[in-house]
């Protein structure tokens, strides 16, 4: 396996810096709402069967007046996949199960039903191959067409700055991926989803890393604007009930279909960090 140590460290540094900027912005929004809520940061270490260093991460969680529950996690882990799982991962096999992975993962569930929930993650993985993946998708319990358009427009611009085919490909991929087959409904209003941007050499790494950084910048630009636009709106008990029922669909997708959840569970990740995507209150009718 090619030694991607320096590249993994560079990606990790960026993910951690992005985490700090996002958390600062979310705390600033809480201050604007008259709340003193702040992120609590909980470090964790990945346990391995042989006692070797498997890496770890930091789980950041805030519960406030605007953000009912938001988690921003950064992790960097390494080790070997279980043989039966290795065959399902790009570039890995039962004979070559080694991997490293570093990334940022964010899920925000909002107190006001008019404010959209959101998911974002970007990551860099190495096996016998090396690649970037990630994306962001908007999940409003009460959709507003202008919010959906603003979200997509910002990620369209980020994509177009790198490759004219990216937005069409990655938005379609998001629509296909963030879909709940047993309900025959989309999880939200889409965004972008990409994976396996292969880094065959240093030039490819720099190219795909630049795009991944712009995905993070796009999120940090557009989502706080949507939050500030909607967070002061009045809402009814019926709005809250609709939000809680919609959250049930979100839970179903994350526990049944989400590949990130499966990857975390199969690689010995921190359970609380893996399941931080679950909302604080939810109902099923």
Query: CA 3 to CA 34: how far, in whole Å?
Result: 49
As for how many domains the chain has, the answer is 1
Name the residues annotated as catalytic.
Answer: 119
What string of DSSP letters covers the chain? Answer: ----HHHHHHHHHHHHHHHHHHHHHHHHHHHHTT-----EEEEEE---TT----EEEEEEEE--SSEEEEEEEEEEEEEE--HHHHTTSTT--SSS-EEEEEEEEEEEEESSTTSPEEEEEEEEEESSSEEEEEEEEEE-SS--HHHHHHHHHHHHHHHHTT-TTHHHHHHHHHHHHSEETTTTEESSS-EEEEEEEE-SSHHHHHHHHHHHHHHHHHHHHHHHHHHHHHTT----HHHHHHHHHHHHHHHHHHHHT-HHHHHHHHTT--HHHHGGGS-SS----
254 and 222 in contact (C-beta within 8 Å)? no
Give the C-alpha separation, 188 to 148, whole Å: 10
Residues (pLDDT < 70) of the chain are 1, 49, 51, 86, 92, 94, 268
Give the residues across from 110 on adjacent strands. 67
Question: Is residue 283 a part of any domain in this protein?
Answer: no
Q: What Rg, from alpha-carbon coordinates, does the chain have?
A: 19
How many angstroms separate the Cα of 128 from the Cα of each of 1, 3, 7? 5, 10, 15
Q: What is the pLDDT of residue 119?
A: 97
Q: What integer pLDDT is reported at residue 46 of this predicted model?
A: 81
CATH code of the domain containing 169: 3.40.1500.10
Residue 58 structure tokens: 């930091």
Domain interval for residue 40:
5-277
In a domain, 262, yes or no: yes
Q: Residue 284: inside a domain, yes or no?
A: no
Length of the chain: 285
Q: Are 115 and 26 in contact (CB under 8 A)?
A: no
pLDDT at res. 92: 63
Within a domain: 77: yes
The reply to whether 21 falls in a domain is yes
Adjacent-strand bridge partners of 106: 72, 120
Output 160-167 pairs: Cβ under 8 A, ≥24 positions apart: 161/214, 162/207, 162/210, 162/211, 162/214, 163/211, 166/192, 166/194, 166/211, 167/192
In this structure, is residue 285 part of a structural domain?
A: no
- Give the separation between CA 197 and CA 207, rounded to whole angstroms: 10
Distance CA 257, CA 248 (A): 14
Query: φ, ψ for residue 205 (rounded to 5)?
Result: -60, -50
pLDDT of residue 49: 67
Compute the distance between CA of residue 70 and CA of residue 280 in angstroms, rounded to an integer. Answer: 10
Model pLDDT, residue 105 = 96
* 282 occurs within a structural domain: no
């Amino acid at each position: 396996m090619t030694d991607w140590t320096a590249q993994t460290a560079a990606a990790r540094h960026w993910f951690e810096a992005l985490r700090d900027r996002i958390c600062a912005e979310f705390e600033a929004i809480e201050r604007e709402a008259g709340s003193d809520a702040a992120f609590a940061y909980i470090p964790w270490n990945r346990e391995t069967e042989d006692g070797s260093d498997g890496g770890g991460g930091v789980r950041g969680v805030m519960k406030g007046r605007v953000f009912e529950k938001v988690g921003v996690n950064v992790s960097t882990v390494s080790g070997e996949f279980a043989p039966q799982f290795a065959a399902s991962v790009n570039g890995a096999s039962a004979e070559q199960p080694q991997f490293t992975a570093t990334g940022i993962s964010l899920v925000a569930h909002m107190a006001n039903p008019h404010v959209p929930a959101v998911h974002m993650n970007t990551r860099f993985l190495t096996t016998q191959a090396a690649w970037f993946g990630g994306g962001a998708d908007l999940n409003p319990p009460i959709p507003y067409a202008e919010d959906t358009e603003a979200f997509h427009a910002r990620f369209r611009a980020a994509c177009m700055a790198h490759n004219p085919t990216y937005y069409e490909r990655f938005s379609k991929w998001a629509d296909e991926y963030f879909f709940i087959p047993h309900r025959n409904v989309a999880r939200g209003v889409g965004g972008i989803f990409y994976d396996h941007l292969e880094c065959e050499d240093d030039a490819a790494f720099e190219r795909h890393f630049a795009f991944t950084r712009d995905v993070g910048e796009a999120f940090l630009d557009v989502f706080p604007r949507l939050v500030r636009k909607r967070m002061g709106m009045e809402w009814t008990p019926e709005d809250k009930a609709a939000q809680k029922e919609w959250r049930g669909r979100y839970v179903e997708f994350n526990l049944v279909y989400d590949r990130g959840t499966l990857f975390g569970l199969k690689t010995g990740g921190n359970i609380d960090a893996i399941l931080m995507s679950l909302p604080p209150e939810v109902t099923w009718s």
